[in-house]
Structure 1
Amino acid sequence: MAARQTPVPVTAAPEPAKCPTCKGSGEVSRTVRVGRKRRAVGEQAGLCLTCLGSGEALTD
């Protein structure tokens, strides 16, 4: 007689950790500077260089 195998419970894959710099959005604010004296006039969205826009923390 063969032993009865119990089914393996299906578990969802854990979510990857969020990037601490952009907090999972993939974008960060960058200051826009204009003029000869490089005065700050506002901000615009830029690509997060830590996670390269994916929003997930890199693991080594």
Structure 2
Amino acid sequence: MFMLLALLSFLVLVSCLVIRRERVLRQAWQHLAAQILSRRNTPDASSDVTTDRHDAGFGQ
């Protein structure tokens, strides 16, 4: 009986840890996707800088 109770409590602990880990990973993926989408929606200023330097002759 004690072994069954110990096994059940161990399984509950492991399942709680797995659920928490999945939630943290899901939040991290959502944050990363939001960053990618915000970068995609804003104009990229770095391409303007490189073309300006190339047009001015600094890259030669």
Q: TM-score, with normalisation over the residues of structure 2?
A: 0.24
Q: Which has the higher helix share?
A: 2
Q: Which has the higher strand share?
A: 1
Larger radius of gyration: 2
Q: TM-score, with normalisation over the residues of structure 1?
A: 0.24
